[in-house]
């Protein structure tokens, strides 16, 4: 969905249509969730401090998120996807993968089904979306992003190399600003450069991730699509009124959030197979760290310990502290049976 939260606000309030709409926190430490395309013309983008967005776009309309309304429309879009495909994997309220391999025997047929989905979304929600059709997840997501807004792009297997090679390496899904700087520092500016880079160089600089990045640069992604139940997640996060500096206080917050998440799992009779933490620094640089569990569980003590382990072993805490902490669990399944730990 294109500029989803802002587009919903423009849909519900005709006076906002054609104007710069910025959805996010309105307090002094607020952050932009979504900006309409009109606001983006002023340089406003998601994850930007709201205070800066106000300076860039003083005539913008700033509104708080209405997640219940966004979820209502998201559910309607998801129902359209389920009509088109037996396998739908949501990524967020405004984005999802769906698999057409069992519904279409060619790319032309798949494109026709996907075009029908796009048209139904427009008719049934009065909103526009961008759709990408491709052989795998990475390429499909890229296709949906290259033709926004209101885009529709099909990447066939024989067009992959010509499309990918000239794009900057930052276009690869999962390459953030830090990794992009490291790749550029190695002279790998374009995806085509990464595709032909010496494997031993990538191994030395990035470890196992280097081979994964090179596979994506070739347009290869064997990650299967998961169903809706498997792609759900539960998380809790807080932006603090002041930056947390003390490491003990930060750990206490991680423990508290982890227990909250575990209680939600237990209430919903769910088990998780991944635990992750999210840290945002005062500079707004945000990192996530995740661990995959050997068995599905909902034990508060174990989830808490894994989250704390991630904090201590995989997060660098500096003198500036942190402004946001989050704990989440994923790869959820119904708790019809539990594998009990032999040693707690």
Per-residue pLDDT of the chain (344 residues; tens, 9 = 90+): 999 999 999 999 999 999 999 999 888 878 898 999 999 999 999 889 999 999 999 999 999 999 889 989 999 999 999 999 988 888 778 999 999 988 888 889 999 999 999 999 999 999 999 999 999 999 999 999 998 999 999 999 999 999 999 999 999 987 888 889 999 999 999 999 999 999 999 999 888 888 889 999 999 988 777 655 444 678 888 888 788 998 999 999 999 999 999 998 888 788 899 999 999 988 888 889 999 998 888 999 999 999 999 999 999 888 888 999 999 998 888 776 666 667 75
Last residue of a domain, one of 30, 48, 65: 65
- Which two three-digit tokens encode residue 161? 């190399």
- Which two three-digit tokens encode residue 260? 């909250």
Same domain, 244 and 205: no
> Does the pTM exceed 0.85?
no
Same domain, 120 and 198: no
Residue 177: domain span: 168-217
pLDDT at residue 339 in the model: 63
pLDDT at residue 318 in the model: 82
Residue 340 lies in a domain: no
How many domains does the chain fold into? 4
d(CA 118, CA 49): 32
Of the chain, the end-to-end C-alpha distance in Å amounts to 44
Check 9, 72, 89, 95 and give the catalytic one: 95
Q: Are strands 233-244 and 21-24 parallel, antiparallel or unpaired?
A: unpaired
95 is known as an active-site residue: yes
Same domain, 247 and 305: yes
Last residue of a domain, one of 23, 49, 65: 65
Same domain, 126 and 183: no
d(CA 245, CA 267): 33
Residue 36 lies in a domain: yes
Same domain, 78 and 42: no
Last residue of a domain, one of 14, 46, 65: 65
């Amino acid at each position: 969905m294109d500029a989803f939260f802002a587009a919903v606000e423009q849909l519900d309030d005709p006076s906002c249509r054609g104007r710069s709409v910025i959805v996010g926190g309105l307090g002094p430490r607020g952050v932009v969730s979504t900006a309409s395309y009109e606001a983006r013309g002023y340089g406003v983008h998601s994850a930007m401090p709201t205070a800066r967005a106000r300076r860039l776009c003083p005539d913008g309309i700033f509104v708080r998120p209405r997640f219940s309304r966004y979820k209502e429309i998201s559910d309607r879009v998801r129902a359209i996807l389920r009509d088109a495909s037996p396998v739908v994997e949501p990524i967020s309220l405004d984005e999802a993968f769906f698999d057409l391999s069992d519904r279409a025997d060619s790319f032309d047929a798949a494109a026709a089904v996907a075009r029908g989905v796009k048209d139904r979304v427009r008719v049934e929600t009065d909103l526009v979306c961008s759709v990408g059709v491709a052989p795998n997840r990475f390429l499909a997501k890229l296709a949906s992003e290259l033709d926004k807004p209101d885009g529709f792009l099909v990447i066939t297997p024989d067009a992959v190399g010509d499309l990918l090679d000239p794009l900057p390496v930052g276009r690869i899904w999962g390459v953030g600003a830090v990794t992009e700087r490291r790749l550029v520092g190695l002279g790998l500016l374009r995806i085509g450069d990464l595709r032909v880079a010496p494997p031993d160089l990538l191994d030395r600089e990035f470890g196992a991730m280097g081979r994964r990045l090179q596979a994506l640069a070739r347009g290869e992604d064997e990650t299967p699509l998961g169903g809706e139940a498997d792609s759900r997640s539960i998380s809790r996060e807080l932006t603090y009124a002041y930056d947390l500096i003390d490491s003990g206080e930060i750990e206490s917050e991680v423990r508290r959030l982890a227990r909250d998440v575990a209680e939600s799992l237990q209430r919903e009779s769910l088990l998780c197979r991944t635990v992750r933490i999210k840290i945002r620094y005062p500079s707004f640089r945000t990192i996530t760290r995740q661990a995959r569990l050997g068995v599905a569980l909902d034990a508060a003590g174990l989830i808490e310990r894994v989250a704390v382990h991630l904090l201590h072993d995989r997060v660098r805490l500096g003198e500036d502290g942190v402004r946001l902490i989050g704990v989440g669990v994923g790869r959820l399944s119904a708790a019809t049976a539990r594998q009990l730990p032999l040693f707690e």
